[in-house]
Structure 1
């Protein structure tokens, strides 16, 4: 997933880098000598993927690749791609990175290519290509769903999840009439990325369903954000807030607080990435949690999903081959995969992998919903989270999240949001 909060200043960056390194290694840059290497590994931490998770996974990979000593760097915000850009600008580009958006880095020759042999264990090996080349291991899929409080739905007389967009609006009206907040949405401060999920869903249903390569067409100048289809998707989001179906007072919440608000019963529906199912199963709320895909106008599936998220390796690492060997060992270790599935509810895209038997019901329902959409050829790109040739220019996802905050709060119309996105696109591609 791509998350783009504010960036640090160069001065703050240096201090954060020194504080972040917390595993073996004594330098801030890669070193290689006599078949051994000290390599920097940029990762991130979330409520699901904490320091303990990463340290254990790093240790397992290092045990499989003698000669590699890893120095862990932790992005100070969810925008690890932006942080990697700052590190690059100060000559400290990491040797190995996970969950990086390769856009910009790939085109500039800063990343090592993964070969067909490297990718033979992956279900979708050509996912997210840049001019036909792969720079990120496509090891897992994540998608955006609506998680819902089944008790609230029952109180409002809603028997089944909405299957069309009209039914979604009808359900929202019924919930509001019962004094129940229909949607929990947040994204305050550094977590502005978290406000994107309603728009991710409406772009999937109203834009990408009909034009799967829409963003590639935008790059070619064939479409614009001010075109009717994109504005209509933004208008749906603005209308939900205007009708009071999205509580504007909650928009300032952090990601963690927004997640907790849903668990605390402060709203009936929570549009969020599939990783939430791990939290729903581990920190069980007092109600039963259900899952459905944000519906299209006519009921056919258009589920926003992205496959990728794995390791990238710097083309300038002191020992690229050893760095790639360690990255693959990390990515393909069964215990690491099991831990990632348990912690972050990933849908693993590696051949022969089977999730642990004791996964919770929300995860199982999430995977089943994804498989249904997949079988119906109903999985589309996930706006702002794309990688590969058809993706947003670097930094634009962050600008989109800032614009969505204004769209939801009533400070920007849908048409103005489209014009804003076109303007930001122009700035990002100069």
Structure 2
């Protein structure tokens, strides 16, 4: 699941729970790479309706059983922005020893994360994913297409829509038909700490209109040969503004949290729900009162384009009491078949480990999501997901959060497409100072 903007400082003591899942219990001192003895390691996680405390405790216990001598103390982020929380902990000298789905940007350059070796990464499909200066600091275990468009098949039928849209013109025509029937076309949220949830229409438009033809476009922005105010990017932004101007995105919904946003889709408050692939697990685990379909946000030509991110795994602090044992435990956690299966069932993960296949009893929404991703892979149609890129071409720290706030203004008419693009360039410049 994606990160969110940090909600505020919470004392470490209030967010820490001891998980007794292995032998040991005494921290070793100074054993930076011994890989021997007994050690207690802190592990930063986060909780969502899909990934609850029981999920994490079971996964931790399975990994710990494979790495004798390690006891894990679980640190729970107060919200899903574990990167923001890790920064708070680091600032107070309490950076966890192991972290999941924490953006390595800044940490890696400051020498605070330990890189993984080529040998440690040999079982991963994309071993160089999100490399920073040629080194990988986060295990790239999971691919998340984002967004896909999940839709209410009953609403489509009520509006006379026989099949998912093939082109962007079809998408607009379907939105018009839905609105004519009194059905809100798109469910888009992003309130409170969950402003990231409003980014999906923009991520989709950048994917189809910018990255499909220029897959390394953000790299050009990094080296200064491109800007957000360039026509190709601003035209993609204009598509998002136009959706809202046409009344296809309910501005009231923009105040909803991520959880309330999903519930709104379940409560028939909109026909289409642009969201990450993790929704597939939720839809199968608790079926809405309608059948759910899925399609990729369509391009103008109808050519398949699917934004996705591969990463999200564990990182290890270079200051962990025993770096070698911490890395060994991280790999045990990420490569355990039961842990991977649990991640697929709980969060709709598309596992990026060689030879892995999902459980055979997955539900229809996950299977449709997985099949669509595999179709995109076969077609060479997978592109980066704008604002979620990692490694050397990632947005500077904080810019993605500012972009999400800017999308609120874009969809409510407070900013034009040109103003939004200029705003992004300004935020980029400030972040690089």
The interval holding the TM-score normalised by the smaller chain is: over 0.9
Partners of 2:77 and 2:57 in 1: how far apart? 15
- Which of 119, 122, 129 is residue 120 of structure 1 equivalent to? 122
**Does the 8 A contact of 2:19 with 2:57 survive in 1?**
no
**Does the 8 A contact of 1:192 with 1:401 survive in 2?**
yes
**Does the 8 A contact of 2:6 with 2:85 survive in 1?**
no
- Which of 31, 37, 48 is residue 27 of structure 2 equivalent to? 31
Partners of 1:196 and 1:81 in 2: how far apart? 18
**TM superposition shift of 1:36:** 1.1
* Aligned twin of 2:247: 244
**TM superposition shift of 1:3:** 2.1
Partners of 1:206 and 1:31 in 2: how far apart? 52
Q: What TM-score, normalized to structure 2?
A: 0.95
Partners of 2:19 and 2:175 in 1: how far apart? 52
How does 1:337-356 map onto structure 2 within 5 Å?
337-356=340-359
- Which of 385, 390, 395 is residue 392 of structure 1 equivalent to? 395
Moved more, 216-225 or 33-42: 33-42
* Aligned twin of 1:279: 282
**TM superposition shift of 1:239:** 0.8
Partners of 1:399 and 1:225 in 2: how far apart? 14
RMSD over aligned Cα, in angstroms?
1.4
Structure 2 residue ranges without an equivalent (≥5):
21-25, 30-35
How does 1:108-257 map onto structure 2 within 5 Å?
108-144=110-146, 145-257=148-260
**TM superposition shift of 1:136:** 0.9
1:63 lines up with 2:65 in the alignment: yes
Moved over 4 A (4+): none
* Aligned twin of 1:326: 329
* Aligned twin of 1:82: 84
- Which of 256, 264, 274 is residue 267 of structure 2 equivalent to? 264
Partners of 2:269 and 2:302 in 1: how far apart? 28
**TM superposition shift of 1:415:** 0.8
**TM superposition shift of 1:7:** 4.3
Query: 1:118-139, CA deviations, whole angstroms, 9 ceiling, x for partnerless residues?
Result: 0111111111111111111111
**Does the 8 A contact of 1:82 with 1:395 survive in 2?**
no
Partners of 2:285 and 2:132 in 1: how far apart? 37
* Aligned twin of 1:404: 407
**TM superposition shift of 1:254:** 0.9
Moved more, 175-184 or 229-238: 229-238
**TM superposition shift of 1:292:** 0.2
**Does the 8 A contact of 2:138 with 2:313 survive in 1?**
yes
**Does the 8 A contact of 1:104 with 1:393 survive in 2?**
no
Query: 1:136-189, CA deviations, whole angstroms, 9 ceiling, x for partnerless residues?
Result: 111110002000011111111111111110000000000000111000000100
Structure 1 residue ranges without an equivalent (≥5):
none
Partners of 1:323 and 1:375 in 2: how far apart? 36
